[in-house]
Chains A and B, each alone.
Chain A
């Protein structure tokens, strides 16, 4: 199957600093990328949807100024957590989809990034 690479796999940062997470589709062009957040023993919560070359669409309750998403190319999307605080500590996962045909059935997930803010 297609490969989505997410980097870093884990990061620890100080409160008030910013952290950038990268999501790359390695062997296909991702027209759409999704960013999720997952708390322990909870399901995935969609944060935003981004299409290459356009602004991301954020889900209700997600602060767009805090979670900056850039999808500058068909193989790379980045999520920047700005001025991180301990409550932002979570598992962040991206997924990438090619085409628009069959819903999200061809979405492939990255391995996730565990963010810890101290």
Chain B
């Protein structure tokens, strides 16, 4: 079993839709959970990060972490064509030099 599993996609939604992106993980030592957005041929950009369980909201984006279920989600409200990108979940443990473990990424397309 891979440490981090992410829905494979791709995902296509109409503009204005609510998008739900999800990842599951197996390592209970993970404490930090991140969502990155990557446009084609660019490096990833950190969108949201959460420590331990709970919700975090930033504008149209909400990140949720359920450590009991080892499940994280990213919700995008009122999706826009500019949200079209690949979204990668990532997580890691506490500690110096801890390394990110990434999901495979899901490509989202928001249709005008």
Contact = CB atoms under 8 A, between A and B. Distances in A.
A56 to B, nearest CB: 12
B10 to A, nearest CB: 9
Given A44-B44, A49-B99, A103 B92 contact: yes
Given A43-B105, A44-B88, A44-B102, A103 B44 contact: no
Q: Interface size bucket, B side?
A: 20 to 34
Nearest to A59: B99
Interface of B: 31-32, 34, 36, 41-46, 49, 51, 88, 90, 92-100, 102-105, 107
21 contacts: A6-B43, A32-B97, A43-B88, A43-B105, A46-B99, A51-B97, A57-B97, A93-B43, A93-B44, A100-B97, A103-B31, A103-B92, A104-B90, A104-B92, A104-B99, A105-B32, A105-B34, A109-B46, A111-B43, A112-B41, A112-B43
